[in-house]
Amino acid sequence: MEESNKRKNKLAVIGFSLMLAGPAILISAFLLQNLAGNFPKIIADIIMWITLVLPGIGAVLCIISLVLWKRTGNIGRSLSIVTVVMCNPVFYFVYLIICGIAGNTLAGLSWM
């Protein structure tokens, strides 16, 4: 029984970590861009898509954790709920609008 709870919590922790990895990559790219100069457009686009997809994958994992295992531990349940709330699709839509208006794929960073 204890092994099953660890597995349930592990899925929630992975989802939460992916949620944090997206903004961390974007902040790192922004700092690197300030030091080294502008990225080529293709690299900036790849970074943008990675930072958009990782939190979404994390949210899906957390939803799976919440739906399949209704009795996860308190930590796993809390991390799953925080991840699902923070990975709101409206955030992604607004972020893409900001990037499109600015014409720069890293422009939404200041909004984060």
CA 99/CA 95 separation, integer angstroms: 6
Provide the residue ranges of all domains of the chain, joining segments of one domain with +: 2-111
Mean per-residue pLDDT, 11-22: 86
| Region of residue 103 (phi > 0: left; psi between -120 and 50: alpha; otherwise: beta) | left
Tens digits of per-residue pLDDT, 47-97?
A: 888 887 888 888 888 888 888 776 656 777 778 878 877 777 666 667 667
Structure confidence at residue 55 (pLDDT):
85
pLDDT at 1: 45
Three-state SS for 37?
coil
Binned at pLDDT 50, 70 and 90, residue 15 comes out as confident
Task: Return the higher-pLDDT residue of 58 and 5.
Answer: 58
- How far is the CA of 37 from the CAs of 26, 45, 67, in angstroms? 15, 16, 45
